[in-house]
Chain A
């Protein structure tokens, strides 16, 4: 068990982390590359930058919409995200791992805060999951990954919480820790290939929409040529 845990914490962690980083960089660069290509082709190169920036900020900090549209959903989603992002990065235990691994460290969350955020995230994920099951529209739209993600995300949080806050027998501790580490790594390696890619792509949305509405200047000629419709009547 201990060897397995060491393997999961060592090489497997490094692998999943690299997959995540490279994967996220890849999709981000692809998006930016497509955007640059589109910009070069656009017949009108004036973009409403300010507008896009304001809208982007509004999406990342959805304070206003939280109180006007679907308040419960918004608040739950915000709380869920806060824990989801803060805890893995700023938990003292995680930082110590970094420190022993590559020798860098940073500010950490007080442990009782981390616990609270963890519970908040678990509750948030459950609420999002139930909200999805309970809403006819959402049910109709949902794919497998939409149900699985909240559940998968709960795993490392629950197992981590148990490891940190309960007295477990050594075997039980190791087993729970293994679940914690493996589920965490599964999440990291799936991030770039699923909808969680949104964590790097959402900030680009508004710029991409603005660009997509800027058409190239000669679509008519070119598409007609491609489809053999030159000179065809309207």
Chain B
């Protein structure tokens, strides 16, 4: 990956102040994202207390001990980081970012470090360092590309993840994420977009009518059915913004006869805990799982959303019983399986435009979902072009790690974070950009607008919806043929 550094004009836009001076003064925090008012006294002491508590009850010490020993400061990670590539600022080199927290660990939590620190009277945690971390850890999109490169095997994104967690314990987290999560865990509506249940029911009825009108088929969005094979939970924002994705998914279930349900008590798989706090991550996971138990579903099926899928896939087992926990799938895995088994028919003559596919970091980096969507796309899109790099090495949309939900930093996201992605998209010349992730979709739409790229951002099931063959009779015929 090679990106040109942004122009000074773009830099000015991306880094323009977003807050009034008196807010910065009051919160003692000169960062671009907004935070709620918090206790600004004794931040270093409280930061260290939180750090200590977290070390005590988690597995991070293992990683930190290892990282401080092997780090060789070679700066190779710089090549991979889309942020550094765009800003050219050494403070954005992943290894520099990590060192911010590693140095605190070394100074305050290792014997050698604290002896040395006391003798020289230096290196202890200060307010300035906390501010620098608060800025740096949220400049990162947690895309985990740098991890691919580090020859010593340091996982810089794990350190960012931990750094944000500690900061959140002293009250420093983007307000946008905290407020949504509060609504999700403690609010009346129980979801991050604050959609009340009656509105959800209305929306679904409306979608059903739409499908009837467009496809001439009766398709229901089943609510609160017990004992289904799948409890389906998308990012709740899909109900507001991604009607076509949802209709596509409903159509796939119709065509394949899958047994599925949407829950009326938890219809939001968004888990901002993955971005700022392991404690929140755990609560959201437990809430999600409880709902799957209430409805006695066999599997948990997450919609087109990268971080929601990753957090459920990897943390349902962690918090809900290990191996015995219900399996978690992403919707694309289901659709892929159905297509492979011949239960899904797609018309190859509907989508003739050039199509490209964006791998959401959270499902692609670890190699989980890469080939499945491509198999589906190639089954009905004639004109498919790849971006390079792709798959496990994909480039982040620029809004990863929760930053996409922070509206006040949009110029930063689309000009800095998404710079490399923009170049990639432009190079494909695609008409449709498939991004099967609620976060990526929002970010990429803003990105193509801000960078003036002519292309439409869609979900995978949006296109499936256009091409799906729902002829009941025909499907029945084929069934009997196969039997015979």
- Does chain A bind chain B? yes
Q: Which residues from chain A sit less than 8 Å from chain B, CB to CB? A: 27, 30-31, 34-35, 37-38, 41-46, 48, 51, 55-56, 59, 62, 65, 69-70, 73, 77, 132, 135-138, 140-143, 146, 195, 197-198, 201-202, 204-206, 208-209, 211-220, 222-224, 226-227, 233-234
Partner of A31, one of B66, B323, B367: B66
Instruction: Compute how far the CA of A85 lies from the CA of B114 in the bound complex, rounded to whole angstroms.
Output: 34
Let me know if B4 is at the binding interface, CB within 8 A: no
| Chain A residues, CB < 8 A from B151 | 59, 62, 77, 202
Q: Is the CB–CB distance between B93 and A46 below 8 Å?
A: no
Contacts of B58 in A (CB 8 A): 215-216, 219, 223
B96 touches A141 (CB 8 A): yes
Give me the 8 closest cross-chain CB pairs, A-B, nearest first. A205-B153, A43-B318, A44-B317, A226-B53, A212-B63, A38-B59, A138-B75, A222-B57
A140 contacts B152, C-beta separation under 8 Å: no
A169-B154 Cα distance, complex, nearest whole Å: 49
Max chain B Cβ within 10 angstroms of own Cβ: one of A141, A198, A211? A141
* CA–CA, A59 and B5, complex, Å: 29
Q: Which residues of B contact A222 (CB under 8 A)?
A: 56-57
Q: B6 within 8 Å of A by Cβ?
A: no
Known interface pairs A69-B76, A205-B154, A215-B318; A226-B69 also in contact (CB < 8 Å): no
Chain B residue with the shortest CB-CB distance to A206? B153
Query: Chain B residue with minimal CB distance to A55?
Result: B153
Whether the Cβ atoms of B90 and A140 lie closer than 8 Å is: yes
Interface string of B84-119 (1 = CB under 8 A from A): 100000100101100100000000000000000000
Evaluate whether A46 and B155 lie within 8 angstroms (CB atoms) in the complex, with A143-B73, A211-B59 already known: no
Q: Which of B278-286, B335-343, B412-420 touches A?
A: B278-286
B139-160 vs A, CB cutoff 8 Å, 1 = contact: the mask equals 0000000010101111100100
- Closest CB in chain B relative to A183 CB, distance in Å: 20
What distance in Å separates the Cβ of B172 from its nearest Cβ neighbour in chain A? Answer: 15
Q: Contacts of B78 on A, CB cut-off 8 Å? A: 137
Write the nearest CB–CB distance from A77 to chain B, whole angstroms. Answer: 7
Q: Give the contacting residue for A226; candidates B57, B90, B185, B319; CB below 8 A.
A: B57
Asked whether any CB of chain A lies closer than 8 Å to the CB of B329, the reply is no
- Assess whether B57 is in contact with A201, with CB atoms less than 8 Å apart: no
Can you identify 13 A-B contacts, CB atoms within 8 angstroms? A46-B323, A69-B79, A140-B96, A146-B73, A195-B73, A197-B70, A198-B70, A205-B152, A205-B153, A214-B59, A219-B58, A219-B282, A234-B178
What chain A residues lie within 8 Å of B76 (beta carbons)? 69-70, 73
A43 vs B66: C-alpha distance in the bound complex, in angstroms? 21
Which residues of chain B are near A211, meaning CB under 8 Å?
59, 62
| Contact status A204-B79, CB under 8 Å | no
Nearest CB of B to A141, in Å: 4
Taking the closest CB of chain B, its distance from the CB of A39, in whole angstroms, is: 9
A82 to B92, CA, bound (A): 32
* B289 located at the interface, meaning its Cβ lies under 8 Å from any Cβ of chain A in the complex: no
Q: Give 11 A-B pairs besides A135-B75, A218-B57, A222-B57 with Cβ atoms closer than 8 angstroms.
A: A31-B66, A37-B62, A38-B59, A44-B322, A140-B96, A201-B69, A202-B151, A209-B63, A215-B58, A220-B282, A220-B283
A residues within 8 A CB of B155?
209, 212-213
Give every chain A residue within 8 A of B281 (Cβ-Cβ).
215
For B79, B90, B149, the residue with the greatest tally of chain A CB atoms inside 10 Å of its CB is: B90
A215 touches B70 (CB 8 A): no
Interface size on B, residues (CB 8 A): 61
Tell me the complex Cα distance, A31–B155, Å: 16
A41-B59, A215-B318, A226-B53 known; A59 and B280 CB under 8 Å?
no
**Chain A hits for B351, CB < 8 A:** none
Q: Are A136 and B65 in contact (CB under 8 A)?
A: no
Main secondary structure of the interface of B (DSSP, over half): helix
Query: Assuming A51-B367, A215-B58, is B318 touching A42 (CB within 8 A)?
Result: yes
Q: Which of A31, A70, A204 has the most C-beta atoms of chain B within 10 angstroms of its own C-beta?
A: A70
User: If the complex has contacts A195-B70, A201-B66, are A213 and B314 also in contact, measured as CB distance less than 8 A?
Assistant: yes
List the A residue with the shortest CB-CB distance to B78.
Answer: A137
Determine the residue in chain B with the shortest Cβ distance to A27. B69
A137 touches B93 (CB 8 A): yes
Interchain CB contact (< 8 A) of B56 among A55, A136, A226, A234: A226
Whose C-beta in chain B lies nearest to the C-beta of A45? B322
Report the minimum CB–CB distance from A91 to chain B (whole Å): 26
Q: A201-B66, A222-B57 in contact; A46/B317 too (CB < 8 A)? A: yes
B279–A142 contact, CB under 8 A? no
Alpha-carbon gap, A141 to B154, bound state (A): 15
B72 A146 Cβ-Cβ under 8 A? yes
**Which residues of B47-62 are within 8 A (CB) of A?**
49-50, 53-54, 56-62
Q: Please tell me which one of the listed residues B147, B152, B182 contacts residue A233 in the complex, with CB atoms under 8 A apart.
A: B182
- Contact partners of B152 in chain A: CB under 8 A: 198, 202, 205
A198 CB contacts on chain B under 8 angstroms: 69-70, 72, 152
Beta-carbon contact of B279 and A223 below 8 Å: yes
Q: Which residues of A contact B71 (CB under 8 A)?
A: 195
Identify the closest chain B residue to A217 (Cβ).
Answer: B319
The complex places the Cα of A149 from the Cα of B144 at a distance, in Å, of 29
Residues of B within 8 A of A140 (CB): 90, 93, 96
B93→A34 contact, CB < 8 A: no
Pairwise interchain contact B319-A43, C-beta atoms closer than 8 A: yes
